[in-house]
Amino acid sequence: MQWREISADPNHPAVLTARREQLGRVKAPPIANRVDYLCELARGKRVLDIGVIEHSLDATNSGQWLHGRLCAVAESCVGIDILDEEIRVLVQRGYDIRKVDLTEDVLDETFDVIVMGELIEHVGAPGPLFQHVASMLAKSGVVVLTTPNPWYANVLVKNVFAASPFTDSADHVAWYDASTLWELGQRYGLELSRYAGVKGHSSQSHLGRVFFGLAPLLVTLGTNPLLFSKSIVYEFRHVSEKE
């Protein structure tokens, strides 16, 4: 259901209640490892991986390089990026990687799984990206994206207590949460079918380690478990295919 079916006012209490209920139905327990989870979704499937280079070729030398892991389990895996020299090197290594800006163009192919790992926060025009991704998604396929969590405890604490303005990556242009991504997907025929936080944290302070060590107890007491997830995994399907 789209919010306009309830009211012309997106801030109407009934609209906001409905959105919270919709999100509650698709919220899932935290997952242990982001890359492992994406690989299981991709196993044996035709996969499109968008934004494979991860800034530089240094990432490709890691055993946790997402595209390399996806290629190892998928039936087929096409990579997309816009960095000429890095693409040339990876093609020489045997990867099927193509230079395409999916905010401006689209592939004339369909895929069972389309992966956007830590990508959308870098994209200045997410609407065309979602439109093109939806057009390439197979009938019963899934689009899965991961993105930093704006409500992550470290982010909140640093905003409250830091003496200087909080900064994340200098290359990020947006923050997304479940509600904004629900709305973005709806506009292009995709419905959020599941989302889950990724367990773990990157706090290096003593106070941070203590706080995150108390996470199981705090969750038991009613604290939102997403508070302890630096990244969140979102899955979308065609609206008509939602299970």
- The torsion angles phi and psi of 203, rounded to 5 degrees, stand at -65, 135
8 A C-beta contact, residue 15 and residue 8: no
Structure token pair of residue 205:
């302070």
41 vs 96: CA distance, rounded Å: 20
Measured from the Cβ of residue 106, the count of other Cβ atoms closer than 10 Å reads 15
Contact assessment for residue 183 and residue 127, using Cβ atoms and an 8 Å cutoff: no
Taking CA atoms, 178 is separated from 66, 69, 199, 207, 210, in Å, by 23, 26, 17, 28, 28
Could you tell me if 153 and 211 are in contact, meaning their C-beta atoms sit under 8 angstroms apart? yes
Flag whether 24 is in a domain: no
Task: Decide if 204 is inside a domain.
Answer: yes
How do residues 46-96 score in pLDDT, each as one tens digit? 999 999 998 888 888 888 899 999 999 999 999 999 999 999 999 999 999
Query: Residue 152 domain-assigned?
Result: yes
108-132: average pLDDT: 96
Domain with residue 140: its CATH number is 3.40.50.150
- Give how many domains the chain has, as a whole number: 1
Is 17 contained in some domain? no
User: What residue has token string 């327990």?
Assistant: 29
Decide: 179 and 23 in contact? Cβ < 8 Å: yes
- Please check the confidence at residue 240 and state whether its pLDDT lies above 80: no
Stronger pLDDT, 173 or 227, i.e. the higher one: 173
Residue 93's pLDDT is: 94
In-domain check, residue 23: no
pLDDT tier, 145 (very low <50, low <70, confident <90, very high otherwise): very high
- Give the tens place of pLDDT for each residue, 198-211: 986 655 566 666 66
Beta bridge partners of 146: 117, 233
How much of the chain is helix, strand and coil, in % rounded to 5?
40, 20, 35
Average pLDDT, the chain: 91
* List of residues 6+ apart from 90 with CB closer than 8 A: 52, 53, 57, 60, 79, 97
Q: Are 56 and 90 in contact, with CB atoms under 8 Å apart?
A: no
pLDDT interval class at 8 (50, 70, 90) = very high
1: in domain = no
Task: Say which residue the tokens 């909140």 belong to.
Answer: 156
Residue 218 domain-assigned? yes
User: Do the domain assignments include residue 15?
Assistant: no
**Which of 104, 20, 117 is CA-nearest to residue 77?**
117
**Residue 237: helix, strand or coil by DSSP?**
strand
| Domain membership of residue 37 as a residue range | 30-241
Tally the C-alpha atoms within 13 A of residue 149's C-alpha that lie toward its C-beta. 25
pLDDT for res 183: 97
Handedness of CA 19, 103, 115, 227 (dihedral sign): negative
